[in-house]
Chains A and B, each alone.
Chain A
């Protein structure tokens, strides 16, 4: 089973792809986090706290918004990867998006989200950066804190099962800034 997921970007950006890989028990979170904060790191992927990742579709939807913003020169943050973190949040507050969806002291498991052409290059870069065990993306659900996801995305009580929950989250990501 392929560990890294790889999707073509629909629409006009079709030569590029989005890559997703999941990492369990990451030991250098503090180091990565500090590198991101001090802007010394030059990662070509976003690092998402796996506990707020409900489904790969959610991450892909956020990545797509970041790609769109970049294509129209409308990034609100430093680069396309920080923009992915920002786009995961349904709120427009940037710092809050970083705290909630990016790395924090409590982060244990991490999803790397990349945008590019070459999956091998993505894998190599991520492997060189993250100290942890790569596991299949299909296992993402094991690390999700559903209560936190519900809280962050303000999902109504009436929505319970997985698919409608993902749809509600993706809908919120799509509608960000248009409410």
Chain B
């Protein structure tokens, strides 16, 4: 019934159905390298956090997979299976021209601004975790497995930094596209100036950290 679609480091994702709707089921499995208590705590926390973030986003009108069910007994989440493709595939597709890429970047900037406006930090922003719906071209943010609630400017800056690194390593010649994301983010997020200032700090920290120790 369920087909394995992704074997991640911490979870298996299956395509299935949930009472007549196309669904994916994400099942977290124990990581045996971790202390069992730490593993239980982390796994439970991440299942609940992921579900909470999905529901918060949905209620705020941010396009994310709809949450169907949370099962903390078996560490499973059922959610909407979106028909579409990742931004990664879209940007790597030779058919995607500059104008189309800019349009995608605009949607990403708007979504991230909305996400940060409700104090949700995604924690794993990559172009594989941004999804374009076949139905209406809407940009859905997926995989909230490392997401959390935070009003800290620093956390939001790190979120952008994670995306910047993932974006530029996956799409090496796309600085302009990434800049467009930031430009739109700036226009839509009240705290953008502060987040950008912090982003600058985080970038420098990455490259010029003190080596004394």
| Chain A interface residues (CB < 8 Å from chain B) | 7, 10-12, 14, 18, 56-57, 60-61, 64-65, 68, 71-72, 74, 155-156, 158-159, 164, 167-168, 170-172, 174-175, 178-179
A10-B18, A168-B58 known; A175-B52 Cβ under 8 A: yes
Contact call B67/A171, Cβ cutoff below 8 A:
yes
What residue of chain A has the Cβ atom nearest to residue B27's Cβ? Answer: A11
* Contact stretch, chosen from B28-36, B71-79, B180-188, B199-207: B71-79
Contact call A68/B73, Cβ cutoff below 8 A:
yes
Contact call A61/B68, Cβ cutoff below 8 A:
yes
B20 to chain A: which residues have CB within 8 Å? 7, 57, 60
B66 CB contact (under 8 Å) in A18, A74, A171: A171
B19 CB contact (under 8 Å) in A12, A60, A168: A60
Q: How far is the CB of B66 from chain A (nearest CB, A)?
A: 4
Q: How far is the CB of B177 from chain A (nearest CB, A)?
A: 29
Contact call B67/A174, Cβ cutoff below 8 A:
yes
Q: Please give the number of chain B residues whose Cβ is less than 8 angstroms from any Cβ of chain A in the complex.
A: 30
A10 to chain B: which residues have CB within 8 Å? 1, 16-19, 23, 25, 78
B67 to chain A: which residues have CB within 8 Å? 167, 170-171, 174-175
B162 at the interface (CB under 8 A from A): no
A174 CB contact (under 8 Å) in B60, B61, B70: B70
| Chain B interface residues (CB < 8 Å from chain A) | 1, 16-21, 23, 25, 48, 51-52, 54-55, 58-61, 66-74, 76, 78, 80
Given the complex of chains A and B, what is the CA–CA distance between A159 and B55 in angstroms?
13
A167-B58, A168-B59 known; A175-B16 Cβ under 8 A: no
Contact call B59/A156, Cβ cutoff below 8 A:
yes
A175 CB contact (under 8 Å) in B1, B51, B76: B51
Contact call B58/A171, Cβ cutoff below 8 A:
yes
A156 to chain B: which residues have CB within 8 Å? 59-61
Contact call B52/A174, Cβ cutoff below 8 A:
no
A11-B76, A167-B66 known; A174-B18 Cβ under 8 A: no
Given the complex of chains A and B, what is the CA–CA distance between A72 and B80 in angstroms?
25
Given the complex of chains A and B, what is the CA–CA distance between A22 and B29 in angstroms?
40
A158-B61, A168-B59 known; A175-B70 Cβ under 8 A: yes
Given the complex of chains A and B, what is the CA–CA distance between A12 and B1 in angstroms?
11
B70 to chain A: which residues have CB within 8 Å? 174-175, 178
